[in-house]
Chains A and B, each alone.
Chain A
């Protein structure tokens, strides 16, 4: 079965550079979530999109922005990178069921960002 695809899988950047992470949800999933997981930490929710509109916002820094496109893929843009941005960035997708309840989230393999 198709899963959530994230690219790139690994990314190395220097301080103050920018990075763009991409997420391709499972086909027919309309909701995308972004999470940041630092070393030894729980995933922290950043932001989510439903039908190309921002639906929830978590602890996303102002230096980060994200959007969901017409084909439902999403991109997380990170500017002025800091050492502390080094983490695993997960994307998850789900869909709104007929009962009006979002079904479970399926996670992608993550993008490991290293900021030097």
Chain B
């Protein structure tokens, strides 16, 4: 069964600090992995998409890594801002374009 597990479930950090979110998956055959940011009541916004051959990809203060061997990904946020408070969702796609969503990490950035 395809599964995506994220940790931690929730995280509280102070503004300006860095944090790392984790995603483990058992989706096969793997096609790509995406990180989304979802504000409450709004649609998910894509941060990065990574294919099998990519190890790391950056988008501003967001850096995603992928280890296809261990089936793990991480999202590192540097110099956090209050606007980073949101749910961060890891989504893995298989070759049939079926998406499996993780439950998300709820990040709260405090001033």
User: Which residues of A are in contact with B by a Cβ distance under 8 Å?
Assistant: 4, 42-43, 45, 48, 55-56, 88, 90, 92, 101-110, 112
Contact = CB atoms under 8 A, between A and B. Distances in A.
Sorting the interface of chain B by its residue count into under 10, 10 to 19, 20 to 34 or 35 or more gives: 20 to 34
Contacts of A43: 44, 101
A104 B34 CA distance: 8
B62 to A, nearest CB: 14
Contacts, number: 42
B2 to A, nearest CB: 12
Interface of B: 31-32, 34, 36, 41-46, 49, 89, 96-99, 101-104
Contact of A110 (B31, B43, B97): B43
21 contacts: A42-B89, A42-B101, A42-B102, A42-B103, A45-B98, A48-B97, A56-B96, A56-B98, A88-B41, A101-B31, A102-B97, A103-B49, A104-B32, A104-B34, A104-B49, A106-B46, A107-B43, A107-B46, A109-B43, A110-B41, A112-B41
Contacts of B46: 104-107
